[in-house]
Amino acid sequence: MHRKLLPLALAATMSLPTLADDAAVIKKSVETKLARTVTSVTKTPYLGLYEVYVDGQIVYTDEKVSALLIGALVDGKTMKNVTDERMQKLTAIKFADLPLALAVKQVRGDGKRVFATFEDPNCGYCKKLAKDIAKLDNVTIYTFLYPILSPDSLEKSNQIWCAPDRAKAWNEWMIDGKAPGGKGDCDTTAVKKTIEMGRKLAITGTPTIFFADGERIPGAIPIAKIEQKLAQTK
């Protein structure tokens, strides 16, 4: 009896669609609809929705891709922003993989607390961030010049990179408004490589901060949050 039922049970099990099958179908369908590359498809515990990570953005859909939902998904019990938490994980990097030689380096105090930023010299939020992080001590800051706002941003980035003291030129411009005096006629390959790297990392806005654990946080976050994050990633 058991020998007869077992093959039937196995056959029934094998015929059931798997999450992997659903994910593959969803991936292909979303890529076709949006003409973009889907990086991952993950089943969520909410309303039968699937999380689709596409071109640095999360969208939600059902198994039939009958609708695409764009926006924050909030847990009804905890009221936590599920989308934000997932984005932090999905956009994280290996900090050690950053080519730090391409960045403007600043060391204060013992320099043990480390983070990196991608910034445009004409970005108002970056200037606010620069004033805030000037208050930090015992840190090493790697600032990648990421001129994406205007041609003048590229010119200023090149001038800062060509300055005798890059960190000084950066801070004088961002904090004091003193225009960089460099001519920008040195080897500025580092700036070009940073732009290419930023695009590969899907950095679409400045400032963008990366902490030592690889977490990415876009925007000029409060200094208290930076301090908190640095304390967690010692």
Q: Indicate if 133 and 153 belong to the same structural domain.
A: yes
Q: Indicate if 131 and 215 belong to the same structural domain.
A: yes
Pairing of strands 50-54, 57-61: antiparallel
Query: Residue 15: what pLDDT?
Result: 42
Q: Indicate if 17 and 45 belong to the same structural domain.
A: yes
Q: Indicate if 43 and 102 belong to the same structural domain.
A: no
Find the CATH number of the domain harbouring 214: 3.40.30.10
Q: Indicate if 46 and 151 belong to the same structural domain.
A: no
Cβ neighbours for 218, distance < 8 A, ≥ 6 positions apart: 203, 205, 207, 208, 209
Q: Tell which of 90, 111, 145 closes a domain.
A: 90
Q: Indicate if 11 and 65 belong to the same structural domain.
A: yes
Q: Provide the residue-wise pLDDT of the chain in tens; the chain has 234 residues.
A: 444 444 434 344 444 456 678 899 999 999 999 999 999 999 999 999 999 999 889 999 999 999 999 999 999 999 999 999 898 889 889 999 999 999 999 999 999 999 999 999 999 999 999 999 999 999 999 999 999 999 999 999 999 999 999 999 999 999 999 999 878 889 999 999 999 999 999 899 999 999 999 999 988 899 999 999 999 876
Cα 187 from chain centre: 28
Answer whether the bond into residue 7 is a cis peptide, omega within 30°: no
Amino acid at 174: M
Give the whole-angstrom CA distance, residue 43 versus residue 61: 10
Q: Indicate if 147 and 126 belong to the same structural domain.
A: yes
CB 167 within 8 A of CB 104: yes
Pairing of strands 208-211, 113-119: antiparallel
Give the whole-angstrom CA distance, residue 103 versus residue 135: 20
Give the whole-angstrom CA distance, residue 86 versus residue 185: 42
Query: Residue 18: what pLDDT?
Result: 67
Q: What is the DSSP string of 21-63?
A: HHHHHHHHHHHHHH-S-EEEEEE-SSTT-EEEEETTEEEEE-T
Query: Residue 182: what pLDDT?
Result: 74
Query: Residue 9: what pLDDT?
Result: 41
Give the whole-angstrom CA distance, residue 84 versus residue 77: 16
Find the CATH number of the domain harbouring 30: 3.10.450.70
Q: Tell which of 38, 72, 90 closes a domain.
A: 90
Number of H helices, E strands in the chain: 8, 9
Q: Indicate if 65 and 169 belong to the same structural domain.
A: no
pTM metric for this prediction: 0.77
The SS3 of residue 155 is: helix
**Structural domain range at position 128:** 95-232
Q: How many domains does the chain have?
A: 2
Task: Specify which residues 4 forms β-bridges with.
Answer: none
